[in-house]
Every structure is written in structure tokens, then in C-alpha cells.
Structure 1
Amino acid sequence: MVHDQQSHSGQSSIRKRIYSPLFLVFLFILPVLGCPLWGQSGQKKQLTAEDYPLWGQLSMDKIAPNEEWVSYTMSYTEDRDTLFVRNVANHTSYSFPAGDKSAFTKDIFFVCQSKDTVQIVNLETGKKEILAGVSAYCYSFQNNLVLLLLASAENKRSLIIRSPSGKTLAEISDVIQYSLSPNGNHLVYTTSRKNGNAVSIINLATLKMATLITKATAANDYNHFTWHKDSKAVTFYSQSKMNLIDGLWLYTIANTKLWQLDPSNESSFPTTATIVDNPRYKMIISDDLEKVFFSIKEKTIPIAEKTNSKVEIWNANDKWIYPEEQQYGKFEEQPKITLWQPKNGHVTRITSTELPSIMLSGNQQYAFLSNPKSYEPQFDFQGPRDYYIQNLNTFENKLFLSKQSSFYQDIIPSPNGKYIAYFRDQDWWVYDIKHNTHTNLTIKTGVSFSGKVHALESDSVFGCPAWSKEDKEIILYDEFDIWAIKADGSNCTRLTQGRESKISFRLADNPKKGKWNLLLDGIQLDALNLENDLLLRAEGDDGKTGYFKWTKGIGVQPLRYTDSFINGLNYEAEKQKLFCVEQRFDLPPRILSIDNSSEAAKIVFQSNAQQQNYYWGKSELILFQNSKKENLKGILYYPAHYDPQKKYPLIVSIYEMQSKELHWYTKPTLFNESGFNQTVFTTHDYFVFLPDIMHEDENVGPSTLDCVTSATLKVIDSGLINPDKIALMGHSFGGYETAFIANLSPLFATAIASGAILDLTSYYLTVGWNTTKPDMWRFASEELRMGHKTPFANRSDFDRNAPLTSIEKLKIPLLLWSGKQDTQVDWRQSVEYYLALRRLGKKNSMLLYPKENHILSNPINQKDLSERVLQWLDYYLKDDTTAAWITNGIEK
């Protein structure tokens, strides 16, 4: 059935200083009061490059447990980044230059670190304690303790356990390293003793210590502490003086049991292998504490052919081409995931050369194994695979899914381990592990669960963000809505009604977690309780964004949803107040506090308040149609200090779908990675336009020309701009589009194409050195949309879409630029095009930046490029001929 849910002990010798409240007021309150309040009126001035360093980038940090304080960072291009703490009600503020690793305590303190200094501030009194010589610190919220690792002059380190207010509860000498459990109740640490290193653990609630290991012989170190996800156990390696891992240990908290795996004494451990630290796959303790997953590697790898030559052999029958095999292949040499069962001591190798890739079921009772080369060679970005399921108790192995997409969002285990969901043939399916059955879940819903999601890609899955408790329902996205579908397919419920209003609803990101929680080669999803309220993020087709609250039986209610870009939701456990960041093109990012019950919002902090003193542009959503009457959108940015009596030059910047950036704020700077900054351009008296482009399969070039022509004519018809002074620019794929259009359109006075694909045939036959794959996949399934056509069998299709084919028709000055270490689009594409233009006598210049990749990272080069782009635009759109490098290089 398909349903819609309708809306209805001893003092330490820490080097420290105490600042008085009066000093803190001077340091932290006066700078805040000195800032002009947002919205004050006054004479505005024109923004210049000398003013740009005043602008910073706001990043939300943390929320205090009582929801009365918020921390955030302001980052500056030409100045030191600063961490701030601000009171939500009275806006009292404290600043910490270069502050990092922050924590609000359980009571009234704030802690952060800057290099080797930890600062602790009493947020009520303003007293600040500065602790020097701290190499690391952590905070246990559960026990309200600050743990400091101090380095002495003798290079010995002590671990101090203290309260935030300053009372030292314990001091442990000669500590090498430590690790705090996820719940903050236990701390495991190593110490250096005369008779050998030791591993100990301390219960932070009772401060009771226990020594787990004291070993005076082979082991030199114990490291890589890895905790059980619920803090029930910890595992770690022992390492010899030769830096070889010679043992694996597991300590379980409840029964204080220590288990050891000694490879030399365990008959099931492969004699030809050794334990290794695998940066890609960290150790894992299973939920039931019965299994530890770790990596082993063969001690010696057979060499097929000995030679003194460093020749690279690229064979025609290789599954992967040489660079990809060197980077990601050589499965026989890669570490193998191995299972240790501490209770019986047995060790079993799980992955193999034949099946090197592994996902785990949510309860870690099964492994899903595959080989990335199953169907290679093929010419998409990654090929399908056959998936095998292995019971990790009996170690039986069987094929359960053939030729399945291996995209990480297309195959996802359920949290409780009962199912694995996969997207196939335009539907979501589940495989029931216990019953060995496959069920199509979405065939009866009547909607599509795939579509346009990622830039430059054709259709992909909208997403599977979670399951409900006990794996009862899978949570899925369509284009607009969130669905809860029973695992047996018996019931489908649409939780939101976004389709009717063209609002896309998604689960809001959890601020305490990353976007994806990876478990080996798979995704580990959260389990939602659908009896509780859910926080949702929403994006409307009209450019509005914000957050909603979903309640069972009621539906969605807006918390804040308006004509701005709202993101960065943050909250504490009680969720009485919700915090987010709001911005528009003409409104610098600001932190808002939203009352979860009344939905009232208030400004906590407004960044870049100095903007009110300057003329500023605005952004506007433009609607247009291409020649096929398809509805499209674009963003038009107005010049700062716009005068309706004037006609302005226009910069058209192209890529693909850009209208979602309608309300994005861009700080003014000359340190731009691609030379483009719409704020800088608007403060130089330019209109800037970013039109959406709908690409046609096998006809990308002409369809781009059609959309951009229609969009530009729409802006010309508005009467705002000078139709003779329009520039076109784009980077990467946008550079390709720019070069193609510049050859064929009479609308533009000049163009800038950077990092561009210009010769489709040579690009088809290029290795993408950042992916180590042939770039043919970009034609098959990404931006160039040729399917599996080739330049050999389908020459006319390649010629019709290639800028190089129509280069003789170029009539306007063209600026090219590339980084000479570009691993995404070969910089020789630009050289090839430059040489063709030179041979044809066309007006052009090319800028090549040594030691730069696809975008520029060196600030000197960023500034140089930004200034030259402005000079180029001023030269051809404002008749400002003062740039000698253009006059001497092209026009003389």
C-alpha cells in the first residue's frame, strides 16, 4: 500500500596565567562594541581592493549544553583566523586567535587550544586561564574533566586530570599517548617505564586505575587504540623495536578481560603474513564484542619478472590501465581484512586477491565481498560487480547479486544487519539475508527515485539516508519527498508533501556526525525513531531554503524557510534552541537562534558588519526558456550602486545548473582559484549572469549554445545592459562550453576559457592523472554525454560538439589559461588551441601557471589571475586599454 502522511590529587606544575574580568572586557567586549551595528544608515562608499582584507569567512563551531553560548570561527585570507565564543542573549564575546579544538564544558567553562597552549574561560565571570606546554588535550563531558598532556623541559610528558575550574584530581607521569572512550568514561594510555612500556586504563568516574600490560621484553610500544562504538571495549597493537606489529589486544570493560593475539603462538594465523596498520581500513570491534577486524599482509610478494629496467608495461589485455593498477590494483600485494575471534583465538582471512573489497552488515555478522575488476575493461567511471555474502560465523560464501552498480550510494547495508538495500533497474530493492530473498520496494510508488543530483552527471539515485529502528522501514528520497517503506514492501508512506509545492525535503545533517559514516568499503546508516520529531532541510524551486520539523501525525512545520540560503544546522541534546547560518548575496552570513517551540528567530552574530558602509549589489532569479520551450533559471547579479539610467556591461559565466547559488554570499577577494568572483565584478560596475544549462545527450555543444543564447537574449531584453559589451567566461567544463559558444555566437565581445576541454578526440584518448583512468568515462556517463560512442565510429558526433572543429569561425578576442600541472584537464589542450588560433591569426592570449593544478592554489598566482581577468574584461567591455600586456600582446 502507498500512503501520504497528511500534514495536520596533588597540585600540578602547569605554567599558567589568570586574567581578571576587567582585562577580558577590555580584550573582548570593546572590539565587539566598536563594530557598527548592522542596519545603521550612513554615507556609503565604493569598495576597493584595499578593503577586501576586512572580509572573513564565518564557520559555525559548537553550541553550549545550556544553549546559552555559541562558538564560531572567522577565517581571513590575509590575517590570522580567530575563534569566538558569544552569548546568545546579551552578545558578550570572547576571542581566541588561532583557537582550535574547542569544547563547552558541562557547566560554565569553554576550552580551546592554540598550538601548545590551552585556554579555559569561565563564561560567567570572564576569568581566563592559560596553560602553556600542552601537547594535547581532551574533554570528558560525561565526567566534566579536562585531560592535559604536558611536555616538560626534560621532554617527559605528564597527564593531568583536572576539573575545568582548576582542581587537579590526578597526575600521571611518563605518558606517551592516550585515547578517550567515545562516552568519556574511560581513558586508556601508555607509559614509558624503565622495565618497559605499560598500558593502563582509568575509570574517569571513580579515578580508579588498572594496569593492563607491563612488558619488559620485545614490545616497544602499544598504539592505534580503537574503541568499540559504544565504549564497551578497546583494541590496540603491540609493536616491536623494529616497528613490526607483533600482537593484537582486546580489553573488554564490563568483565575487565584482556585478550591477546600472538601470531607466533596462534596456529590459525597465516605463517606467511604479518599484522599491518592499514590507513584505509582501521580496526573494528563488532557490536557483540565477539570479533575484531584487522589487516594482515604477506611478508614477501612473489616478483613475476626481475629486471633492472624501470619500464612501464601497458598490456592490451590488462583489466585496468597501468597507472590505475599501480594506484588501486595489485590486489595480491594489498593488505587483507582478517577476523580474530578472541574467545577461541581463531583467525580467519576474509578478503582475498579474488575478492579484495568488503562491506559489513550492520551487526558485523556478514561480509559482502566483491572485485572492482569483475567486468573490466569497461569505459564508465567504475564498472558493476558481482557481490558475494559470507557468514562470519560459519564462513560460508555465496553469490547473492550479479552485475550490480558499485556506486557507494547504490548498495547499502541496513543498521541492524537484516538486509542490504540496492538500487537497480530504476527501483530500490532489499535482499533479506536470513531468507535469501530479493524484494522490489518502490515499483508500486508511481514516482522515480533517481534523477539529476550531481553536477555534470546524468541521472543517479536521490538517496537512502537511514532506516527506522530494528530495520523495519527503509528511508528513501525521491526528487522532492521522504519515504518510509516497509522492508518487505508491504507498505509505503510518503512522510512529506514537497512535490505539490516543489520543495525538496531531506533529513538535516547531524552536527555531531559527518555526512557519511563509512565502515570499510560501505556506508553505515543511522536508525531513526519515527515516533520522534525529525529535523528536515528544505530547498524550494523558487530559491527559498530553510529548515522544517516533521512530527508523526502532523507532518512538516517550518522553523525558518525564506528567501535566503540557510544551512549549518546545529543543536544540543534538548533541542530547545536550534542554530543555523543564514546568508544572501547582499547579506553576509549570520548565526541565527531559532526557538524550537515558537519558531521565533533572533540574530546571534552578524559577520562582516562593515559591509553596510559600502555599496553592494543584489541577486535576482531570472526565468527563461530555451528554443524547445523548456523552463530554465539563472541568477542575475546587479552592480553595486546600480543606476537605472545607465547601461552596464555584462559578464555571463557558465557551467551547468547554477541557480541554486542564488543566495550564496561571496566575500570580495583577489585570491580566487579560478579568477572569478561575482562580488568583485559587481563592485566594478558589471552585471553578472549565471544561467542554467540543460544538456542534450550526444548534442552537448549545440544545446549549450541554445540555452546560453536564450538566457543572454532574455537579459538583453530587460534593457539593463549594453548589448555590445557582453563577455562570456567559464572554467573546466565551463571552459569547454565557453570556447564552443565563442566560435559560433555573435552575442559576445570577448571570452575567457580556462582549464578547458577543447579537442574532444585527444581528450577522449587522455589519461586523467587525478583518477588514473582513461577520460573516456567522461564521455560515457558524465558531462560530454556521448554514451558509448567513439571518435572512430562516430566522428561526426565528436566534430559537431568540439570547439576545435569550429575554431576558424572565432571572431572575438579569447583568453585561455591553465595550470601546468593540471591533472584533471591536460593543460596541453590549451596549448593546442592556442597554437591553432595563432596559426589562424586569431586574437588570443594564453596564461600558463607553473606548479598549479586545475585550480590555482598559490596566492601569488591567484591574485595575478584575478587582476588579469579584470584587466581583460575592462579592456574589451569598458574600452580601458591601460593593460600593456593586452595591447602589446594582441592589439598592436
Structure 2
Amino acid sequence: MWGQAVQKKILTPEEYHKWGETVLQKISPDEKWASYKIEYEKGADTLFVRNIFKKTSFAFPHGENGRFMQDIFVCMINKELHILDLKRLEEKIIKEVKSYSFSDKESQLIYQIDTASQNSFLEIFSLKTGRIKKIPDVSDYLLSPTQQKLWFTASRTDGYSTAVISLKNPALINWIQKKSPEKFTSPVWQKHGQAVAFIKEYSDPGRNILYFYNIKNNKIYELGPKTDSLFFKNWSVTVSRQLKIMISDDLQSIFFAVKKNTAGVIEQKKIKAEVWSTNDKWIYPYEKSQQVFQGTSKSAVWNPVSGKTNVITSDELPAIMMDGAMKYSYLSNRKAYEPQFEYEGPRDFYTLNLKTFEKKIFLKKHAWDSEALNPSPAGKYFAYFKDDNWWLYSPSSDTHTNITSGLGVKFKGKKQELVPESVYGNPGWTNGDKEIILYDQYDIWIINPDGKKAKRLTKGREKKIIYRIINPDSRHQKVIYNGPLLETIDLTKTLFLLAKGHDGKTGCFLWKKNVGENQLYFTDRSTDQFQFTENKKSIIFREQNFDQSPRLLSIDVSSSAQTVFFKSNPQQEKYFWGRSELLEFQNSKGDTLKGVLLYPANYDPEKKYPMIVNIYQEKAYELHIYENPTFYNAAGFNATLMTLNGYFVLLPDIISKDHNAGISALDCVTAAVAKVISKNLILPEKVGLIGHSYGGYESAFIVTQTALFAASVASGAPIDLVSRYYSVGREGKPEMWRFEKEQTNMGGSPSDYPDRYDANSPIRHVSKIKKPVLIWSGKNDKQVDHRQSLEFYLALRRLKKRSNMILYPDEGHLLLNPENQKDITVRTMEWFNYYLKDDHSPSWITESTN
């Protein structure tokens, strides 16, 4: 029987290309079909549609923008629209399609065809009748959020025209404007589909006109130089990415962008010299980059009925957040307390009543935190975090209420080791701003706005399980201008909760009012990419482990029945593979830390192996992550490749203590290695160390303090903390923000703590390095200037230490060119093979060593 068993093979590089990355995308309305994408290293990506229960599947090579619509699936391949009938299992292809939308409510597919032989046109295809309504010369269109109406603009020889049609009766077209020499652009629907606004855009921006069409009363309103000459004497309607047009729920307010008129202003000849002052709010390059990104547009509001127009933002208060009901805006100035030396400085926050235009300050010198400054959906409150508590400000009564002080629970903490403590989250409110929903370290809370009533919805703290509400669209956070648009969450309905256990388990729980959370699926693997429909009868997701390639599952909510409907990379079963193990160890301070130990493929307990330690602060979360074997790695390291090539790989967590970033890393990493050595698995004299970016800094520092590692790699690494502190980084921002509280967390500046900076800077201890170091960087790295690597190389060279440096022209912090990705991955492996396996075949190392 042993002779008949299929023997596993050693995986060779020639076969790496067979592996693909699986990304779950959508679930059909009837919850019977799912779409997912498999991305391959050579770019041969394929979109798949699969029946969850019957395993029937269809492949769309290079398919994009896939969507389910009732009983069909639609996607684009280049300029072809592919329509798959999921009942008949028949496919229809429409060529020369520029874009498409669809209306579930009216069972219609809308697509724009653009051919070289004729002007583009729009077709409305009815799934019920099979009839097609053709609208010629359409250059732009926009479906309403309710999917019942369509705005479009037509381009003809006599000019541009724009109209709205009801999809219930596409034959009737309601023309709003006709035969204009100028284009109509920037269309926006009111969220209930009751109105649409757009701009007539002139070559002279001072003549631009904003139109508002109220479908309820069939009236067209116009805002431009002719209708409000006083306002347009100073301002012009403009198109802005940052300040898009918005329409209030009550149809009384249209928000849009304006620019100050510059006509008649005589521009002086500018001398090409940069004038920098130590008293500048922002340093010159950052000021310039922000002007390019944000522009000079201001936010304004127009009441079409009264005809009144007001500018909301100003040079003094240019940043704007707004509540979901558009009743109040919240204004601030990022520069208010500059110059300062954090990533974002504190600000004064003002509230502006958008009916009375009364403005008042309500927060003074308050820290900026994008997750802890949240206008409520119904417009009644503004939530903010201060003095370790959540507060609610009521703009109508101008009152502040501390809502969490009596709960005895922390609502902020370390979510990432490299950043300071931050709030755990505010995912939304219940309907009408009745209750705010908050996260603590483990659980979900609802709290009344007066703070007198609070309830914990889950019991995660007792089990050390973190619960978070699953939102399938969380990858696309909704925003209004510079602030978030929070969700309204109905707690009378079932919720799906993402669960993460202290022991590495993950999964999904079902939460119901008056019942609480119940386990639906909780496993010693990684689960993510959850998708479900409004019915919530089932949920689909991706699951993986280090030695289990991602698979896709569906779970029936009523029966908890599980269906695995796709397993990726089935060829893995033919080959030897490693496995992962959760490791616990203690540093010298007595802190219990976690790490991941990856075993070599085809592990033999009778042998001892070399080991590579890969570091970057927290790494234990990678316990269940499956990594495809590939040479195409942006940071030059692939843990699976190393296990396939006979290495143990250690991924330890690192915590920073006592404002000593390098010394803390040394303590944690050496303790983790000692723990593995005590297990009698590895060759203690054949251990390598590698890190990129901040991990590169840690790697560079550690090897200045210990000869434990036979060879190391430090890439994209800060080497001199003092020179990096006084440097300019990405977007022209001074790098000092990284050092005092965040990332390096030195507690102050080099002037405050010169000894501390010296003690933790690799460049100060290069003379102590005893083992070879490989350095690499992109020469166009905006994150960590490649000259940091150059300093390290020159110091090693001057001291005649063994080192090689590789610089990639035109590459940034991560390598994007596939050839360069493969080159550094191969060189990294050769570097460790040379020093940890005594493989002296790579000539680029042998020659430099000799």
C-alpha cells in the first residue's frame, strides 16, 4: 500500500507560475452564485463565476467590474460587455462598450457603445421584454441611486443637450437643456433620486453655470453670472475632485465648489528662488505639495428656491466636514498651531449652521484623529475623543456630554505597535442618531447621547475575542469632503460579526437583539473578505492557513451548513510544504510576546536546519497567512520560498520599551531566537536576519549589537536617526513626526535626548558589526531616502566590513518592476545560501568577498 501511495515532490522554481492569488468579490442576489478573481504573477488574471452548490463555473480571462444583476452576471473584458444568463447558462457579448450600469428595480441593463465609425450611443436593454431602447450621441450618463432614473448628455452637431428619463418608461425623455455650445459635466444625483445637479462648463471658468433640476416639481434652477451678478463678481463655479457637488435630502441646499476670480489681477514676475523661513507654518515643499493636491477651491452652498448663495470655507478655515443630513458643517484649519512637529497638528473646530450661517467655536486646540472626529448621520451630534473618553457635542444646544466616563472601560489602545494609542472605533449610529455605536478593545457598545444609558452588545472580553461589525463595503469608506459619513445600523436586524481570538482563531458570529452573539464559524485559520446580501440567509468568505491555500466557503445561517465551493492552487497537494506554529516567548522585561515559526518543507525531525528571522514590529498576525511561492516580491522576501528551500523562518513580535526603539528590538528578537534554539530544531550558528523599511532599521541596529546572526539584510532602512529626523520625506513633509511619539517613539528630539538617539542609531555602532550585511534600496525612494543606505555602506566600507549594496534606479520604497523584484528576491536567497548553507556558487558574492 505504501508503494501505491502518491509520493510528494520538491517544488522547483519552474513551477511557481502555476500559483495564483484568490480574491473573493461578489455574491448573487439569490445567494447561489459567487464571483472571484485569480491573479497570477505573469498578469494572466481571470475572473470566475461559480455556482456555490453545483460547482458549475465560468471563466472570464482579464475580466473586470463584475456584477450580479438578478439572474445574470455582467463584466467587462477590454471593450466587450459579457452578459451571462445564470438560468440558461448562456453568454452574450456586446462589443465596443465604454461603460455600463444596471437597474435591479427596473430589470434593465444600461451600456454606452463607442465605435470609431459613429458617435457613442446608449442602449437600455430590458431583461423582462428583451427590448432595447437606443439613445444616439450620448457622451455621458449617470444612473440615480434608486436605479429608477437616468441623467445623460448628448453631443450633436448643433451642440450639447442634457435630459432625464424614467426607466419605467424610457420612451419619454425630459430634456433639461438643449443645443448648448458648452459641455455639461459633473452630474450628481440626490440620494433619493429626486433631483440632479450638473455644471455647464465654459472655456472661461468665470462663466460656468450650475444647474439644479428638481424632478418632484419639474423645475430647473440656474446659478451663474446672469442670475447672481453680485456673487459672481468675486466667485466662479468650478469643478473640484475634493469638493464635489452634493444635494441635501430636503432639496433645499446644493453644495458646490467655487474659486476666487482673478480677472484684472496683474501678476508680478516671479523670481525662481525658494524663500524658507523658520517661522513658516509649513516648510516650502510641503506647502507646495498641498497646494497642488488641494487646490484653491472653496465650498459654497446655494438655496435654489430663495436664490441665496454663501461661501462656507475660507483661507482661515479651509477644511470642512459635514453631517449626513447636511444641517451643519464643521470647519477647521490644519495650520492653526503650526509650526509643530507631529504628523498632524491640533486645530480649533467651528460649527456652522447651514440655515442661519451662525458660526461658533466648539473645540479649541484639539488633536486631529480621522477616526475620532465623526459627525452623526442624522446631523444631531458631533462625536469626538478627549481625555480618554468619547464626547458628544450638540450643535443645536451648544452642549458637550462625556458619554463613557462611568463605564470603566478603555475605548482606545495600541492597535498597531508603530503608532500611538488610538480609538478602537465608531462604526455608526442607530436610526435617527438615537444611540452611538462604539468599540472597546473587544466588544461593541451602544450608548445614549446623554450618556445615561449604555449597553455592551457582546461578551468578547470574557473570552478574549475581538468582535467587529462586518461591512462588505468597508474597503470603500464613505466620506463627505474631509470627514467620514458614518453608517446607520439597524440593531433590530441580524448582524454578522468578524471575530478574532487571542489564540489566532478567526471567524464569523451571528448577533441578534436580545440574544447576543452566537458562533457561526470560528476556526484556527485566517478568514476574511466576507460577503452577503440584504437577505443575510448565508455568508461567503475566504479561508486560508500557511499550509492551506485560500478556499472559498458559504455558510447557511439557519442550519450552519458549510459548503466549500472553491479551493485554490490544488497542485500544492503534489508537493512538500511547510507548516506554521504559534510561539510564545518573553523578553528581558518579562513581557510575554508572540511569534510565528514556519517549518521547512519536507521537515525531518532528525535534522537541524538554518533559520531566517524576518522582522517588522508585529508579525504574529501572519500565523495563518498563505503566501504563494514567487520570485516577484516588492520587498525582496518570500517566507514560503525560504521554507521550500530548507529554512525555518521566524516572525517574532517586537514591542518598544523606554523610548529605545533599537535596544527594544534587539531584546525581543534575541529572546525569540533563544526560544527557538531551546527547541533544538535549528543550527544556532546558521541564523540570518532580514528586515525592510522600519524592519530594515531594526535589522541594521541588531547586528551592531550581537554576532548571533551569521548574515543579515537591511533594505530601505533608516540608519542615522539624527540625520533622518532632520530630513524631508514624502510629500515634502519633515520626517521628525516619526520620531517623538510614533514609530521610533524616542520621546523627544535629538536635542532633548542626544544620548538616546546615539544609543539607538545603527550608524553610531557600525564598528561593532562582525558578520556580513546586504543593503539595498530604490534610488527614487520617497519614504526612506536611499542616502541612508549609502551612509551605512560607506561606513562599512571605511571600516573594511563585509557588505554589498544594491541600488535600483527609478524604483521607490518597494520595487515595482517585476525584473527588479525577481532580481532582489534571488539575490536575497543567494545571500543567505552563501552564509547559512555554505553555497559559494553566486559569483557576485564570491568576487566581492575575495
User: TM range, normalised to the smaller chain?
Assistant: over 0.9
Q: What fraction of aligned residue pairs are identical, expressed as a percent?
A: 44
Choose which of 848, 856, 881 in structure 1 pairs with 2:807: 848
Q: 1:410 matched to which residue of 2?
A: 372
1:328 aligns with 2:328: no
1:672 aligns with 2:636: no
Secondary structure in 2 aligned to 1:791?
A: coil
Choose which of 835, 846, 858 in structure 1 pairs with 2:794: 835
- Separation in 1 of the partners of 2:604 and 2:86? 48
Q: In the TM superposition, what is the alpha-carbon distance from 1:436 to its structure 2 partner?
A: 1.1
- Separation in 2 of the partners of 1:216 and 1:138? 26
The RMSD of aligned alpha carbons is 1.8
Q: In the TM superposition, what is the alpha-carbon distance from 1:480 to its structure 2 partner?
A: 0.8
Correspondence list, 1:408-807, <5 A: 408-509=370-471, 511-512=472-473, 514-768=475-729, 770-787=730-747, 789-807=748-766
Correspondence list, 1:229-248, <5 A: 229-240=191-202, 246-248=208-210
Given the superposition, is the C-alpha separation of residues 305 and 188 from structure 1 closer, same or farther in structure 2, using an over 3 Å criterion? Answer: closer
Structure 2 contact 285–731 (Cα < 8 Å) conserved: no
Choose which of 40, 54, 67 in structure 2 pairs with 1:76: 40
Q: 1:884 matched to which residue of 2?
A: 843
Letter in 2 for 1:211: N
Q: 2:271 matched to which residue of 1?
A: 309
Structure 1 contact 109–164 (Cα < 8 Å) conserved: no
Given the superposition, is the C-alpha separation of residues 306 and 757 from structure 1 closer, same or farther in structure 2, using an over 3 Å criterion? Answer: same
Choose which of 106, 114, 124 in structure 1 pairs with 2:77: 114
Choose which of 63, 69, 78 in structure 1 pairs with 2:27: 63
Secondary structure in 2 aligned to 1:829?
A: helix
- Separation in 1 of the partners of 2:192 and 2:370? 25
- Separation in 1 of the partners of 2:387 and 2:266? 42
Letter in 1 for 2:740: A
Q: 2:105 matched to which residue of 1?
A: 142
TM-score normalised by length of structure 1? 0.93
Q: 2:133 matched to which residue of 1?
A: 170
Secondary structure in 2 aligned to 1:215?
A: strand
Given the superposition, is the C-alpha separation of residues 640 and 526 from structure 1 closer, same or farther in structure 2, using an over 3 Å criterion? Answer: same
Structure 2 contact 143–149 (Cα < 8 Å) conserved: yes
- Separation in 2 of the partners of 1:755 and 1:324? 22
Relative to structure 2, which stretch is displaced further, 414-423 or 255-264? 255-264
Structure 1 contact 201–209 (Cα < 8 Å) conserved: no
Structure 1 contact 429–438 (Cα < 8 Å) conserved: yes
Q: In the TM superposition, what is the alpha-carbon distance from 1:516 to its structure 2 partner?
A: 2.0
- Separation in 2 of the partners of 1:803 and 1:303? 54
Choose which of 6, 10, 15 in structure 2 pairs with 1:46: 10
Structure 2 contact 208–238 (Cα < 8 Å) conserved: no
Q: In the TM superposition, what is the alpha-carbon distance from 1:263 to its structure 2 partner?
A: 2.7
Structure 1 contact 498–505 (Cα < 8 Å) conserved: yes
Given the superposition, is the C-alpha separation of residues 243 and 389 from structure 1 closer, same or farther in structure 2, using an over 3 Å criterion? Answer: closer
Q: 2:768 matched to which residue of 1?
A: 809
Q: How many residues align?
A: 847
Correspondence list, 1:92-111, <5 A: 92-106=56-70, 108-111=71-74
1:285 aligns with 2:247: yes
- Deviation readout 1:568-622 (Å, 9 max, x if unpaired): 1101121111101111111111110001112221101111111111111111100
Q: In the TM superposition, what is the alpha-carbon distance from 1:458 to its structure 2 partner?
A: 1.8
Given the superposition, is the C-alpha separation of residues 515 and 496 from structure 1 closer, same or farther in structure 2, using an over 3 Å criterion? Answer: farther
Structure 1 contact 483–492 (Cα < 8 Å) conserved: yes
Q: In the TM superposition, what is the alpha-carbon distance from 1:41 to its structure 2 partner?
A: 7.0
Secondary structure in 2 aligned to 1:230?
A: coil
- Deviation readout 1:332-352 (Å, 9 max, x if unpaired): 961000101111111100000
- Deviation readout 1:842-881 (Å, 9 max, x if unpaired): 1001110100101100111000000000000100000000
Given the superposition, is the C-alpha separation of residues 705 and 64 from structure 1 closer, same or farther in structure 2, using an over 3 Å criterion? Answer: same
Q: 1:356 matched to which residue of 2?
A: 318
Letter in 1 for 2:40: Y
- Separation in 1 of the partners of 2:38 and 2:545? 18
- Deviation readout 1:374-421 (Å, 9 max, x if unpaired): 111111100010001111111111111111122211210111100000
Q: 1:86 matched to which residue of 2?
A: 50
Q: 1:294 matched to which residue of 2?
A: 256
- Separation in 2 of the partners of 1:662 and 1:471? 40
- Separation in 2 of the partners of 1:682 and 1:547? 31
Q: In the TM superposition, what is the alpha-carbon distance from 1:455 to its structure 2 partner?
A: 4.7
- Separation in 2 of the partners of 1:110 and 1:699? 55
Q: 2:170 matched to which residue of 1?
A: 207
Q: In the TM superposition, what is the alpha-carbon distance from 1:120 to its structure 2 partner?
A: 1.3
Q: In the TM superposition, what is the alpha-carbon distance from 1:303 to its structure 2 partner?
A: 8.5
Given the superposition, is the C-alpha separation of residues 232 and 663 from structure 1 closer, same or farther in structure 2, using an over 3 Å criterion? Answer: same
Given the superposition, is the C-alpha separation of residues 817 and 557 from structure 1 closer, same or farther in structure 2, using an over 3 Å criterion? Answer: same
- Separation in 2 of the partners of 1:41 and 1:145? 55
Secondary structure in 2 aligned to 1:713?
A: helix
Given the superposition, is the C-alpha separation of residues 158 and 333 from structure 1 closer, same or farther in structure 2, using an over 3 Å criterion? Answer: closer
Structure 2 contact 530–540 (Cα < 8 Å) conserved: yes
Listed as ranges, the gaps of 5+ residues in structure 1 are: 1-39
Structure 1 contact 200–209 (Cα < 8 Å) conserved: no
- Deviation readout 1:85-136 (Å, 9 max, x if unpaired): 1011110111111111222222x32221111111112223322211112122
- Deviation readout 1:42-98 (Å, 9 max, x if unpaired): 321111111111111111121111111111111111142111110111101111111
Given the superposition, is the C-alpha separation of residues 747 and 267 from structure 1 closer, same or farther in structure 2, using an over 3 Å criterion? Answer: same
Structure 1 contact 220–240 (Cα < 8 Å) conserved: yes
- Deviation readout 1:786-818 (Å, 9 max, x if unpaired): 12x222232111111111111110000001000
Q: In the TM superposition, what is the alpha-carbon distance from 1:513 to its structure 2 partner?
A: 5.5
Letter in 2 for 1:70: A
Q: In the TM superposition, what is the alpha-carbon distance from 1:308 to its structure 2 partner?
A: 4.7
Choose which of 828, 831, 837 in structure 2 pairs with 1:872: 831
Structure 1 contact 636–687 (Cα < 8 Å) conserved: yes
Whose relative contact order is higher, 1 or 2, with alpha carbons under 8 Å and at least 6 apart?
A: 1
Structure 1 contact 268–348 (Cα < 8 Å) conserved: no
Q: 1:274 matched to which residue of 2?
A: 236
Letter in 2 for 1:781: K
- Separation in 1 of the partners of 2:745 and 2:225? 53
Given the superposition, is the C-alpha separation of residues 809 and 483 from structure 1 closer, same or farther in structure 2, using an over 3 Å criterion? Answer: same
Given the superposition, is the C-alpha separation of residues 515 and 102 from structure 1 closer, same or farther in structure 2, using an over 3 Å criterion? Answer: closer
Q: 1:858 matched to which residue of 2?
A: 817
Q: In the TM superposition, what is the alpha-carbon distance from 1:242 to its structure 2 partner?
A: 5.3
- Deviation readout 1:529-570 (Å, 9 max, x if unpaired): 222221110111100011111111111111111000001110
